[in-house]
Amino acid sequence: MFKPVVSLVTVAVIAALNPSLSYADQKKDIEVIEVTSNFRQQNLMTVDGSISVIGSDEIVKRGAAHSENLLGALANVNFSSGASRGNYIQIRGIGLRSQFVDPVNPSVGLIIDGINYSGLGGASMLFDVDSYALYRGPQGTQFGNDALAGLIKIDSVAAAADQESRLLLSVGDYNSHRYGIATGTSFGDDVHVRLSAVSQVTDGYITNKHLNVKDTNNIDESNVKLKLNWQATDDLSFDAVMHYIDVDNGYDSFSLDLNRDTLSDQPGRDTQLTKAFGLTTRYQGFDFANVEIILSSLQSDLIYSYDEDWSYVGIPGWGYSWKDIYNRERQQSSADLRLLSKGKSLFNQKASWVAGLYLNQRDSDLARVHTKAKYDVSSVNEHRDIAVYGQIEYDLSEQTVLTVGARVGQYDIEYFDTRLTDQVVSDNLYGFNLSLNHQLNKQAMIYLALTRSDKAGGVNAQALANPDTFASEVYRQQLLANSSFAPETLYSLEYGVKGRSLDDSLTIKMAAFYNYRQDPQLKSTITDKDDNASPVFVDFIDNAGSGRGYGLELEADYQATDSISLFLTAGYLQTTI
């Protein structure tokens, strides 16, 4: 079935690129959108892979304040809130939907200004953002095991010699407002600085009938970013970035009648206080290669809580009143050292190469407070990664490029808590990409790519700590058998076509893909009642046998006149597990 689909995709795109209107005959300047692909900045229309990019102007036109405001415009991308914002993202049907007690590894990565925010989707505010890029499919070679299903990469406006200042003033219903300012300056020819700050507030769209208030699901977010660029010498440069993110949102969205009216007596919170720093050093003084050193550090305090019974004491037939509070602290640091060849230095000047070493440490501390619990629980999850990677791009001809890349790594996770639970897991992770990119002509290209990525396994802390909760011996043994879970592997075969019409009025990108998931990590739940007939839930992650999926993605942009532009995005997805 895949072969006929591939043929139809190619024919349809090439046919559509024939010029039919004369408007763009007068166009001279063509916007070139660049993305980070294969470790280098490249033209979006000539790189292999299904990548969507939303630029600064489009973000402003959409009035997008947060990443969740853009995801609905992207093919085969979904998100679930599970909190005040759309923190949990799925690409091509793969991704998390929630996080509670157990530490989990994201399937979709999030990189903001070179800093890894994977699993912290609430941080993705969009003021003074230059580009928002979404990568579909495994990105294991370049971005590692946080990007099993894909990646979101957000880049703020850079500190540069020519900078535009920005001022944002927005007021709306539900006591909503957004205020922001961004500006920059230069100190001589070599030092450039940019500072931006934004505050966005709204009462939200929920009315709490029991408390008689309308702001229990509110948004109250602020973000400050400082960027510095220093060209120290002709060969040496530094790019530094600092983030301060303060999120103090409410979380009260569980409605018994599904009408945006809630009855909770203990509304929840969704807060995040993050301080992050990143430094990229580039040195071009060697004859054979350029050197890049990317360092980052992040510290984040998070509170996530909700009214578990959705109600107040006194509702007939509602015999319990619970609140669940998760206080998390995340500390992360990483280092990425890479060498990038200067031009094509291998195989008779036909191939360029990249080689690198990656180190990462991510510690997550949790203090959980639950109304029903006999005692509060604190835990520590220490996650360490080390990986080496490399890639070669070989010119088979002037029109055809073969790319081969691989990444080999190891992770170690140690989990322990106040219930005397102690578990250590470790494993190896592998990723690779093999792609063939052929330029049909100056206007169109096709590609075929086979990629693989792994996602780390982990510890099922609840399963380890709660076997005695259940009277059933079957349930107890099931929990003990799932004290940990194994890595998940995703293989993806993708064929794509990209091109512009001769008059440049029409741009089309289309991709067809087939995914195979090995040992997919799926959430499971055991439910029962305790001695007091109260419900008991214990969640854990289990590895299923396999999963499959296939689909299509289409993006088309047509400039009809000077003032009218038409944009189409469509996706089809079929999955089984």
Q: Determine contact, residues 344/351, Cβ cutoff 8 Å.
A: yes
How do residues 464-497 score in pLDDT, each as one tens digit?
777 666 666 777 777 778 888 999 999 999 999 9
Residue 8 has pLDDT above 80, yes or no: no
The pair of structure tokens assigned to 223 is 């973000």
Residue 547 has pLDDT above 70, yes or no: yes
How do residues 152-186 score in pLDDT, each as one tens digit?
999 999 999 989 999 999 999 999 999 999 999 99
Note the pTM of the prediction, 2 decimals: 0.91
What is the residue whose two structure tokens read 């909770």?
264
Position with higher pLDDT, 1 vs 370: 370
CA distance linking residue 310 with residue 262, whole number of Å: 7
Residue 54 confidence class, pLDDT cut points 50, 70, 90: very high
Residue 18 has pLDDT above 80, yes or no: no
Segment among 138-152, 252-266, 308-322, 402-416 with least mean pLDDT:
308-322
- CB contact set of 28 (below 8 Å; sequence gap of 6+): none
Give the three-class secondary structure for 130: strand
Q: Give the residue among 245, 267, 158 at the shortest CA–CA distance from 199.
A: 245
Distance of CA 242 to the CA centre of its chain: 20
Split into its structural domains, the chain has a count of 1
Distance of CA 100 to the CA centre of its chain: 19
How do residues 68-79 score in pLDDT, each as one tens digit?
999 999 999 999
Quick one: pLDDT at residue 159?
96
CA distance linking residue 362 with residue 382, whole number of Å: 6
Q: Determine contact, residues 106/146, Cβ cutoff 8 Å.
A: yes
Quick one: pLDDT at residue 313?
85
Give the three-class secondary structure for 247: strand
Give the three-class secondary structure for 99: coil
| Range(s) of the domain holding residue 370 | 2-206+215-576
Quick one: pLDDT at residue 476?
74
How do residues 290-325 score in pLDDT, each as one tens digit?
999 999 999 999 999 999 888 988 887 666 788 899
Quick one: pLDDT at residue 375?
60
Segment among 169-178, 208-217, 533-542 with least mean pLDDT:
533-542
Provide φ and ψ at 150, rounded to 5°. Answer: 155, -170
Residue 289 confidence class, pLDDT cut points 50, 70, 90: very high
CATH number at residue 541: 2.40.170.20
Mean pLDDT value of segment 518-525: 91
Q: Which amino acid is at 553?
A: E
The pair of structure tokens assigned to 143 is 């971005």
The DSSP code sequence of 442-505 is SSEEEEEEEEEEEE--EE-HHHHH-GGG-S-HHHHHHHHTTSEE--EEEEEEEEEEEEE-TTSS
